[in-house]
Structure 1
Amino acid sequence: MPATAFPDHTVETAPAATRPGLSAIAQKQGFLPAAAGRMATSPEVLSGFLKMNALFESTTLDKLSREVLSMTMATRNDCHVCVAMHTGTLTALGTGPALIAALREGTPLPDERLEAVRQFILAVLATNGAVDDAAIEAFTAHGYTTRNALEVTLGIATYTLSTFANRMTGAPVDGPLARFA
């Protein structure tokens, strides 16, 4: 099925069950990203992503570590929409250009602690979660906790859902995000 089969829903044209979620997204972002509009084709997928994302955002992982996870997943899964969106978020957080560039390129990060979380994410992915004690110890040696280790799995699940859905639907980079593409 071609990506063009997924409509760019608006709050008005989306299935009724997705309208509150789309309205909240549009209010928060100042516009309705096409990725959300296309994801709204399935109320369950949009609702699932919004719930999972809210849970991930409420974890004890700090905001920058969560963004490292989001960008690591975006680049790994080649989701151009997520790369642009999270580049925008990192820029708004005042993140330095060297860190953003390394995340976008999938290269070692200039910050040792953030590189530890990136390496842990990659280890979790490479082992389907069956990381060894050395991976846990390397992660926790940088101030992260075993709780954070489990929270990484929530982030991976959340951003697997969004990156896969964005790629499947062919979601474009919206105008406000174009400068971060």
Structure 2
Amino acid sequence: MTNVYKTSLPLRTTEDPNPAVNAPLKAVKAGMGMVPNMYGAMANLPALLDTYSHGYGKFRAEAGFTPVEQEVVFLAISRFNGCHYCVAAHSFVGDMMSKVPTEITDAIRDGRPVPDAKLEALREFTHVMTESRGNPTPEQAKSFRAAGYTEEHILGIILAISVKVISNYSNHIFHTEIDPAFAGRAWKADV
């Protein structure tokens, strides 16, 4: 993509003199062993990082999806939004932490159907929700529910879309560099 805005704001660090910036970054580092570049970018507005972190945690803990399903949702949204950073990061998380089979993450990354019927229904409905801006047809919702999901899962997808809008759009305006930990799963959007 050419001629798109890039912010001049810096990546913030745990050494920042502002406690509203350094405290959440120190917490991230304590939990993850690193401060991903995305967090350093969002810390320029601590409320943005706080809102993202809160929603992300709530999605992980309360949306009713398995760890594999969570990565399917996050990857489908991030791919649709063309976020090179989040596709790489969630591919890494899927591979290393959630144990998502590579053929599933690679299918989503490549825009192909997932080779598991239930996960494909989840990927497809997440895509529909993102593309339609939350306006699926009754038939699309019925098909999603027929795959074994509930209306509460639809709300969980809305939560995930909200969280990914924060991270995907932040990464867009920062042109966030992929951290070395995620570099093996780098991805580039179709232009």
TM range (shorter): over 0.9
Q: CA deviation at 1:125?
A: 2.2
User: How many equivalent pairs are there?
Assistant: 181
Indicate yes or no: 2:48 matched with 1:48. Answer: no
Q: From the superposition, tell whether residues 4 and 158 of structure 1 become closer, same or farther in structure 2 (CA, over 3 Å).
A: closer
Q: CA deviation at 1:95?
A: 2.2
- Which residue of structure 2 aligns with residue 61 of structure 1? 65
- Which residue of structure 1 aligns with residue 39 of structure 2? 36
Q: Aligned partners of 1:49 and 1:153: how far apart in 2?
A: 14
Q: Aligned partners of 2:138 and 2:144: how far apart in 1?
A: 10
Greater CA deviation, 122-131 or 160-169?
A: 122-131
- Which residue of structure 2 aligns with residue 109 of structure 1? 114
Indicate yes or no: 2:84 matched with 1:80. Answer: yes
What CA deviation, in whole Å up to 9, does each residue of 1:19-58 have, x standing for no partner?
2221121122211111110111111111111111111112
Aligned AA (2:73): L
Indicate yes or no: 2:132 matched with 1:137. Answer: no
Measured on the aligned residues, the alpha-carbon RMSD in Å equals 1.7
What CA deviation, in whole Å up to 9, does each residue of 1:99-121 have, x standing for no partner?
12101112110011011011111
Indicate yes or no: 2:25 matched with 1:22. Answer: yes
8 A Cα contact 1:15 1:41, kept in partner? no
Q: From the superposition, tell whether residues 14 and 118 of structure 1 become closer, same or farther in structure 2 (CA, over 3 Å).
A: farther
Identify unmatched segments of 5+ residues in structure 2.
Answer: 187-191
Residue 114 of structure 2: SS of its match in structure 1? coil
Q: CA deviation at 1:172?
A: 0.4
- Which residue of structure 1 aligns with residue 169 of structure 2? 164
